[in-house]
Copies of this chain bind each other. A is one copy, B any other.
Amino acid sequence: MARLRGHNISMSLDGYAAGPDQSLDNPLGVGGEGLHTWAVATRSWRKLHGMDGGEEGVDDEFIVRGDAGVGATIMGRNMFGPVRGPWPDDQWTGWWGDEPPYHHPVFVLTHHARAPIPMQGGTTFHFVTDGIEAALEQAVAAADGADVRIGGGAATIQAYLRAGLIDELHVAIAPVLLGGGERLFDNVGGLVDRYDVVEFVSSPVATHMVLGRR
């Protein structure tokens, strides 16, 4: 049975998954890029984004796990882009250029319908307007036996956690303070009754935790 997995979700020391004042220039909010310093330094993240070099070790292993056995991704609309409200046109096709690093179907939660966008390299963005369960159903079907990955942002992860639909969630705590923005563990009532901390391991630049559903 397909599992819903979250991977490489970065959180600041003060608990934020994105900094304050997100915008086109600051998609992760002010200071938010520091959340991903640990990931960008790894060999596997760099390879996935067309770059050479990078570190091996525990951080790299988590990046590898995040891609293994995943056949579809779900993300919130704010992770797909900065456009809010009805789509003004079809210009915005994500943050990731012509060939996004997904290479599989991606389901974007939105209140505003839009035709699917096929991209280079196997990624197609589908827009789902009828809720998180519907998005999961469609993603499971599209993944064709593989697992489904939950992307972000915080609000999307919270919605799936509240519904108890996430099987495994890997969060990386990064050594930065953001002072505001989107808290990751907010509005997730009942979390402790449904999840255990099943892994806790650190590198010099990140602390990794994995929550597993009971």
Interface residues in chain A, defined as those with a beta carbon under 8 Å from any beta carbon in chain B: 13-15, 31, 171, 173, 175-180, 183, 185, 188-193, 195-197, 200-205, 207, 209, 211
Please measure, in the bound complex, the distance between the C-alpha atom of A56 and the C-alpha atom of B200, giving whole angstroms: 20
Q: CB distance B179 to A191 under 8 Å? A: yes
Q: CB distance B31 to A192 under 8 Å? A: yes
Q: Which residues of B contact A197 (CB under 8 A)?
A: 13, 175-177
* Among candidates B173, B179, B207, residue contacting A193 with C-beta atoms closer than 8 Å: B179
Among A14, A178, A185, A191, the most chain B Cβ lie within 10 Å of the Cβ of: A14
Q: What are 12 A-B contacts defined by CB distance under 8 Å? A: A13-B197, A14-B191, A15-B15, A15-B185, A173-B173, A175-B197, A177-B192, A177-B197, A179-B188, A180-B192, A201-B204, A202-B207
Residue of B nearest to A177 (CB): B192
Q: CB distance B171 to A192 under 8 Å? A: no
Please measure, in the bound complex, the distance between the C-alpha atom of A188 and the C-alpha atom of B177, giving whole angstroms: 12
Shortest C-beta distance, A83 to chain B (Å), equals 28
Please measure, in the bound complex, the distance between the C-alpha atom of A119 and the C-alpha atom of B14, giving whole angstroms: 37
Q: Given A31-B192, A200-B204, A204-B200, verify A13-B177 contact (CB < 8 Å).
A: no
Q: Which residues of B contact A178 (CB under 8 A)?
A: 192
Among A15, A173, A178, A188, the most chain B Cβ lie within 10 Å of the Cβ of: A15
- The 3 A-B residue pairs whose C-beta atoms are closest, nearest first, are A202-B202, A179-B192, A175-B200
* Among candidates B15, B179, B192, B209, residue contacting A175 with C-beta atoms closer than 8 Å: B209
Q: Given A178-B192, A179-B191, A191-B179, verify A173-B14 contact (CB < 8 Å).
A: no
